[in-house]
Amino acid sequence: MTEKKTKIICTVSDRNCSVEFINELFSEGMNVVRINSAHTTLDSSLPIVENTRKVSDKIAILVDTKGPEIRITNMSTDKGFPVKTGDEVIFEDNPLGVSGNGLLYTNYNHLVPEIPVGSNILIDDGEISLTVIRKSTSRLYCKANNDGTIKGRKSINIPNVQVNLPSISDRDKEYILWAIKNDLDFIAHSFVRNKKDLIEVQKILDSHNSHMKIIAKIENQEGVDNIDEILSHCYGVMVARGDLGVEIEYQKIPTIQRQIIKKCQERKKPVIIATQMLHSMIENPRPTRAEVSDVANAIYQKTDAIMLSGETANGKYAAEAVRTMTKIAHEIESQVRPSYSLELIDITHPVAAVLSCQLVNATRKLPIKAMVFDTRTGRTGRYLSAFRPKTPIYAMCYTPHVMRELALSYGVYAYSMDPTASKDKFIKNSINRLLDDNCFKKDDMIGVVGGSFGPSNGATFMEICPAGLMIVETEGR
């Protein structure tokens, strides 16, 4: 069976991160390991990194920050307190306060002045809904809209209200510095609202000369509204449908998902669809039909990657969940039509963009079995991937971290190789290596995009002919 093109991200917990477990996920189709900093510590995250690297140098590692979020403070009891519809619940600003008995404190010290009367406050992903009915200088007085139990440390969402939270918490900064030190590949920053949130993260990366790339997690209306400026300041986007579905009316989520995928494709930005894709497989060995359709629709819409959270972090059927995603991807990808007429936006290297477009279009009239390119930045791979060709794309990367970064790009299979002194050596070394890996045969026609003026100057040429002939030609020059 040919390798799938859609990439799979698996959340791995510090409680289950053995080499054997990670290798099993990798064997079933995992491309990226995700560490959720909300449920780990710096020390407990390190074994995940170390064991992932023991499995394969091609697996990318992504770590989520918690981002600018509001949470209830600790309570005196883990059981919390019950509320009935119509009960009064009061908020007061004091991050050090202990919540309980109808009085709530949060980790944000300016909640009361920033929340207007009439706002809805959602607790624990919307399990409890409150409405602000009046306020004083120090308190918000709310009415409960449903029965339930309010517990400590639960998340708070306030739809359609902009709160001036800092872009990065002290804990986020600790995790970013830890990720830099341990040479991770991606920082997925939570609750991105605008470009300022991303600029703050990038400043930290730049100050440490880090190659890590930022994935912007879109989880609120402000992030959706500012998606164009966000795309100008990140490597890729994650549509995190959990909090997004709390912040925005649920019926609007499918349209937003589709729109963001399209924008990312036009901008050559990897896009990830996340949250509850195979949620029932946490407890059950088979997915629901609705879940299968959800995964399939994301692939039909041409997402780069799909993500598993609890399914692999603490689910009973982790390997089966990855296998299920792989099977769905194989089935649906054969039906996905390449975007031949795609107009790329925000081009930084027009020659590479034109060559990529022409090579993809050549596959319509020529029996091209594979595309091969060399890269120092991964840019040409992202250009080729944006068109979602049926032909596999093989990236020969001059730096290991670029090889791992391309683990997020649809249809790209990356290899690490040493820089070559000439175009001929690049072609010969690449073709021989891919032939050894049975990626294609000598008689197969392939397309090659590369640079004639050294690996740092970008793509400058394209060649199309049988793989065996390319080797003969380079040896005879």
Q: What is the pLDDT of residue 43?
A: 96
Reported as half-sphere exposure (CB side, CA atoms, 13 A), residue 371 has a value of 31
Task: Choose between 146 and 471: higher pLDDT.
Answer: 146
> What is the layout of strands, in order, in the sheet containing 128-135?
70-71, 155-157, 120-123, 128-135, 139-144, 88-92, 103-104
**Cβ distance 345 to 365 under 8 Å?**
no
Number of neighbours of residue 113 by Cβ within 10 angstroms? 11
What are 127-165's pLDDT values in tens digits? Answer: 999 999 999 999 999 999 999 999 999 999 999 898 999
**pLDDT given at position 22:** 98
- CATH number, domain 7-68+166-333: 3.20.20.60
In this prediction, residue 459 carries a pLDDT of 86
Cβ atoms of 248 and 98 closer than 8 Å: no
Q: Is the pLDDT of residue 69 over 90?
A: no
More confidently predicted of 458 and 267: 267
Tokens (6 digits) for 74: 């600790």
pLDDT of residue 223: 96
Mean pLDDT for the chain? 94
Residue 475: predicted pLDDT: 54
Each residue's pLDDT tens digit, 175-209? 999 999 999 999 999 999 999 999 999 999 999 99
What is the helix (H) or strand (E) element at residue 433, kind and residue range? Answer: helix 423-436
Look at residue 392 in the predicted model and tell me its pLDDT: 97
H-helix or E-strand containing 42? Answer: helix 42-55
- pLDDT of residue 456 exceeding 90: no
pLDDT of residue 176: 98
Query: Is the distance from CB of 238 to CB of 218 less than 8 angstroms?
Result: yes
- Topology, domain 350-476: Pyruvate Kinase; Chain: A, domain 1 (3.40.1380)
pLDDT digits (tens, 9 = 90+) for 317-360: 999 999 999 999 999 999 999 999 999 998 988 999 999 999 99
pLDDT of residue 457: 65
CB 306 within 8 A of CB 6: yes
DSSP string, 146-172: S-EEE-TT-EEE-TT------SS-HHH
In the CATH scheme, what is the code of domain 70-157? 2.40.33.10
Cβ of 110: how many Cβ atoms within 10 Å?
Answer: 12
| Structural contact between residues 107 and 91, judged by C-beta atoms closer than 8 angstroms | no
* Element housing 267 (H / E): none
Give φ, ψ of 409 to 5 degrees: -100, 130
pLDDT at 464 over 90: yes
Domain positions in the chain:
7-68+166-333, 70-157, 350-476
**Do residues 190 and 159 lie in contact, with contact meaning Cβ atoms separated by under 8 Å?**
no
On the question of pLDDT at 16 being above 80, the answer is yes
| Interatomic CA distance for residues 315 and 419, integer angstroms | 42
Q: pLDDT tens across 417-426, in order?
A: 988 767 888 8
Q: Taking 80 as the threshold, does the pLDDT of residue 2 lie above it?
A: no
Kindly state the average pLDDT of the residues 361-374. 96
393: which strand partners?
371, 412
In the sheet that holds 445-450, the strands lie side by side as 412-416, 393-397, 368-375, 445-450, 461-466
pLDDT at 424: 84
Q: Which H or E run includes 252?
A: none
pLDDT at 386 over 80: yes
472 near 393, Cβ under 8 Å?
A: no
**Residue among 112, 162, 152, 146 nearest 132 (CA):** 112
The answer to which of 222-231, 364-373, 392-401, 413-422 has the lowest mean pLDDT is: 413-422
